[in-house]
């Protein structure tokens, strides 16, 4: 946690993690993702069937780690460096009990565009992986579903004019405000399993000056998907009625993950690297810490939860290796 690793600057943390894992006897590949970004891929035998994974990057700004008896504070404590520590400790515990059929995959840039996960999907060891236990803060519950994210801009075009002569122009901002009012009152389709589809109007830009009728405006929207993207995009297109245009920025569809008996289960609302790690076997998702403090200045993780996570990761890996599974039944 004391090595800063804001997305785009994960060089140092990757080298640190490589050195640490090598000192424990792991074989480590650094997979180059960009000039100063490497995924860390570690294993004990040539073909692990079960992998632990999460991301090494954090959101800005860097916050120095600190601790008291109960908690560890600072950037990455819960999202996701505490998770890396819990997974490595679980893997070491499994080794001690003779289980070596495990790998570790730590990616870059999850917090921005999952370029690390996209690169990892082409790694040759992916094909041998049967189960990927991904870590994100789920309060140590097993997430059996995660919502998707559809990110888009709505752009409007108007006509500039002197603001004293509004009849000569056409305000792109007023047009955009009308559209956004409709977005706020649209009931998007929901899903019984994944829950409610929600839309956040997160950014708004436009106009040139107070004395000019604005010729252009745009708003950025993130929709938390519980259905495929298509019905949501159709709903947005029909409410636009030609008043503006949609620019798609990115989309990850909702994902169902493996349910395993004996673990508390739930659906989470956030997105992970999992949609981009399609070649890495069946995904599972579990991790210590609360998503509600991730990305905040007060980020922390309970030490007791970290310790509990070590046991849960080790148990989960053992169960998967023994393939005592309850496969998620499609609804
Ligand atoms: Zn995370």
> What's phi and psi for 290, nearest 5 deg?
-110, 135
Task: State in Å: Cα 135 to ligand 1 middle.
Answer: 8
pLDDT for residue 323 = 75
- Secondary structure (3-state) at 318: helix
Q: What does the alpha-carbon distance between residue 178 and residue 185 come to, in Å, rounded to a whole number?
A: 11
Q: What does the alpha-carbon distance between residue 225 and residue 167 come to, in Å, rounded to a whole number?
A: 40
Q: Which residue has the tokens 């059996």?
A: 144
Task: State in Å: Cα 54 to ligand 1 middle.
Answer: 7
Q: What is the pTM of this model?
A: 0.86
Longest Cα separation, the chain:
80
For the chain, the C-alpha Rg in angstroms (whole number) is: 23
Query: CA torsion, points 229, 235, 241, 242, in degrees to nearest 10?
Result: -10
Q: What does the alpha-carbon distance between residue 11 and residue 38 come to, in Å, rounded to a whole number?
A: 7
Task: State in Å: Cα 241 to ligand 1 middle.
Answer: 37
pLDDT for residue 328 = 41
Residue 35 bears catalytic tag: no
Which residue out of 22, 67, 109, 110 is catalytically annotated? 110
Task: State in Å: Cα 212 to ligand 1 middle.
Answer: 43
Q: What does the alpha-carbon distance between residue 196 and residue 194 come to, in Å, rounded to a whole number?
A: 7
pLDDT for residue 45 = 77
Q: What does the alpha-carbon distance between residue 79 and residue 85 come to, in Å, rounded to a whole number?
A: 11
pLDDT for residue 324 = 45
Task: State in Å: Cα 262 to ligand 1 middle.
Answer: 24
pLDDT for residue 327 = 45
Q: What does the alpha-carbon distance between residue 233 and residue 230 come to, in Å, rounded to a whole number?
A: 5
Q: Which residue has the tokens 């041998």?
A: 128
Task: State in Å: Cα 233 to ligand 1 middle.
Answer: 27
Taking alpha carbons only, the member of 305, 313, 230 closest to residue 54 is 313
One digit per residue, the tens of pLDDT, for the chain of length 331 reads 999 999 999 999 999 999 999 999 999 999 999 999 999 999 997 789 999 999 999 999 999 999 999 999 999 999 999 999 999 999 999 999 999 999 999 999 999 889 999 999 999 999 999 999 999 999 999 999 999 999 999 999 999 999 999 999 999 999 999 999 999 999 999 999 999 999 999 999 999 999 999 999 999 999 999 999 999 999 999 999 999 999 999 999 999 999 999 999 999 999 899 999 999 999 999 999 999 999 999 999 999 999 999 999 999 999 999 974 444 444 3
Taking alpha carbons only, the member of 277, 224, 293, 294 closest to residue 59 is 294
Task: State in Å: Cα 211 to ligand 1 middle.
Answer: 44
Determine contact, residues 281/130, Cβ cutoff 8 Å.
Answer: yes
């Amino acid at each position: 946690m004391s090595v800063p690793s804001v997305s785009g600057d994960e060089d140092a943390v990757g080298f640190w993690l490589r050195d640490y894992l090598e000192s424990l006897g792991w074989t480590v590949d650094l997979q180059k993702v960009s000039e100063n970004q490497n995924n860390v891929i570690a294993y004990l035998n040539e073909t692990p069937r079960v992998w632990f994974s999460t991301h090494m990057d954090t959101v800005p700004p860097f916050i120095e780690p600190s601790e008291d008896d109960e908690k560890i504070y600072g950037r990455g404590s819960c999202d996701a460096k505490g998770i890396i520590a819990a997974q490595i400790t679980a893997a070491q515990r499994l080794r001690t009990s003779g289980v070596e059929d495990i790998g570790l995959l730590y990616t870059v840039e999850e917090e921005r565009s999952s370029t690390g996960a996209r690169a990892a999907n082409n790694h040759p060891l992916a094909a041998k992986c049967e189960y990927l236990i991904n870590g994100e803060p789920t309060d140590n519950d097993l997430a059996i579903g995660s919502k998707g994210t559809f990110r888009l801009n709505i752009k409007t075009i108007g006509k500039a004019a002197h603001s004293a002569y509004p009849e000569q122009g056409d305000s792109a901002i007023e047009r955009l405000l009308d559209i956004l009012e409709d977005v706020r009152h649209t009931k998007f389709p929901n899903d019984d399993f994944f829950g409610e589809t929600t839309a956040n109007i997160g950014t708004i830009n436009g106009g040139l000056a107070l004395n000019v009728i604005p010729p252009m405006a745009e708003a950025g929207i993130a929709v938390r998907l519980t259905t495929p993207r298509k019905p949501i995009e159709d709903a947005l297109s029909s409410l636009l009625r030609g008043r503006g245009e949609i620019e798609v920025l990115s989309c990850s569809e909702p994902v169902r993950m493996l349910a395993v008996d004996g673990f508390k289960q739930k659906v989470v609302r956030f997105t992970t690297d999992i949609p981009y790690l399609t070649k890495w076997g069946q995904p599972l998702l579990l991790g210590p810490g609360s998503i509600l403090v991730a990305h905040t200045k007060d980020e922390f993780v309970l030490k007791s939860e970290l310790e509990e996570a070590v046991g849960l990761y080790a148990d989960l890996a053992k169960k998967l290796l023994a393939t005592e599974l309850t496969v998620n039944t499609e609804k």
